[in-house]
Amino acid sequence: MTIQEALRQGSRLLAQVGSDEANLEAELLLTHALGPSTGSGQALDRVHLYQRLRDELSHEQERAYCALMERRLAHEPAAYIVGHKEFYGIDFQVTPAAIIPRPETETLVELVVAFARERFADKPFTLVDVGVGCGAIAVAVAHELPQAQVIATDISPEALALAQSNAERHGLAQRIRFLQGDLLEPLQGSVHPEPKPGGSRDSSRRASPEPRRRVDIVAANLPYVPTADWERLPPEIREHEPRDGVDGGPDGLRVIERLLRQAPQYLQPGGALFVEIGDEQGQAASALVREAFPNAQVEVRPDLSGLDRVLVVRT
């Protein structure tokens, strides 16, 4: 089998199981399977892949590609199979410990960066990424804004370990503090476990609690899919990504509402809160904000598709 034949076969099979990006996923899996053949242990890029379309796969390469394809045909997400995903121009390690970062969330990062540059210019400011997951928002903001002092919270120790690993990969771990706990509660003295060697965390080892503090920006991509919609999601999401990172309760706003109730205690005057929401939740989410922040400026910003995507609250 040549590389060209492998791509065609893979694309056809993936299209049959409903992949919206069958060609791209076939390329991704094949470049991953061929990675060791470069001698560097790294996957080929697409340019070099297409320069080698007539090359024949070795038996080992063909077996590796077939094994990856079988996993994808069983609806395992491609990002989990290859172990990484690009977000905001940065490559992130991804595992089932956290949801896979998606392009829609880049809208939130863009809004945070624009607000911070307008409000603080080059002055230091503090941002908390609530529900950090793999670290996409925290790492992207820290990368874009050297003056940012970032705090990352998550209730999952496995997600925190993954986020910290991504921060370390990009040389940003010294500028991001990782705290375990529910939403903003770590800012009032909740403590977080120290990582074990190898990235896991030991709940028996605790850091000293820090006093309650206020921050300049709150950013969050929390679960917002209504439970009834979650039950109809593709198996790639429903069977592989962590449900507590996707399912937002009966109306999708259960966790977001709790964050909005907590936020007034922690957000500095003149600060802002940015929360990703579902594409039909703008009106309901705005109503919740007005209860928590009666005097704040509230708007819903769309994503590139023109759909509701980010709830913005300026205090």
Q: Tell me what pLDDT residue 191 has.
A: 39
Residues 310 and 111 sit within 8 Å (Cβ to Cβ): yes
Q: Tell me what pLDDT residue 299 has.
A: 96
pTM score > 0.85 for this model? Answer: yes
Residues 115 and 280 sit within 8 Å (Cβ to Cβ): no
Q: Tell me what pLDDT residue 188 has.
A: 83
Kindly provide the residue ranges of all beta strands, DSSP E only, lying in the chain, ordered along the sequence: 84-87, 90-93, 125-130, 148-154, 176-180, 193-195, 201-206, 215-220, 267-276, 297-302, 308-314
Q: Tell me what pLDDT residue 41 has.
A: 43
d(CA 108, CA 277): 10
d(CA 74, CA 69): 9
Residues 176 and 151 sit within 8 Å (Cβ to Cβ): yes
Beta bridge partners of 148: 125
Tell me the residue type at 185.
E
Output DSSP code: residue 107: H
Residues 301 and 276 sit within 8 Å (Cβ to Cβ): no
Domains of the chain are 3-74 (no CATH), 104-314 (3.40.50.150)
- Residue 255, H or E segment: helix 254-262
Q: Choose among 97, 102, 126: nearest CA to 221.
A: 102
Q: Choose among 12, 151, 148: nearest CA to 72.
A: 12
38: tokens are 């470069």
The tens place of each residue's pLDDT in the chain, 315 residues long, gives 999 999 999 999 999 998 999 999 999 999 999 875 444 444 567 778 888 888 899 999 999 999 999 999 999 999 999 999 999 999 999 999 999 999 999 999 999 999 999 999 999 999 999 999 999 999 999 999 999 999 999 999 999 999 999 999 999 999 999 999 999 999 986 434 444 444 444 433 344 444 567 999 999 999 999 999 999 999 999 999 999 999 999 999 999 999 999 999 999 999 999 999 999 999 999 999 999 999 999 999 999 999 999 999 999
The answer to whether the Cα torsion of 108, 110, 116, 118 is positive or negative is negative
104: tokens are 């829609």
Tell me the residue type at 35.
G
Q: Tell me what pLDDT residue 213 has.
A: 74
d(CA 20, CA 298): 35
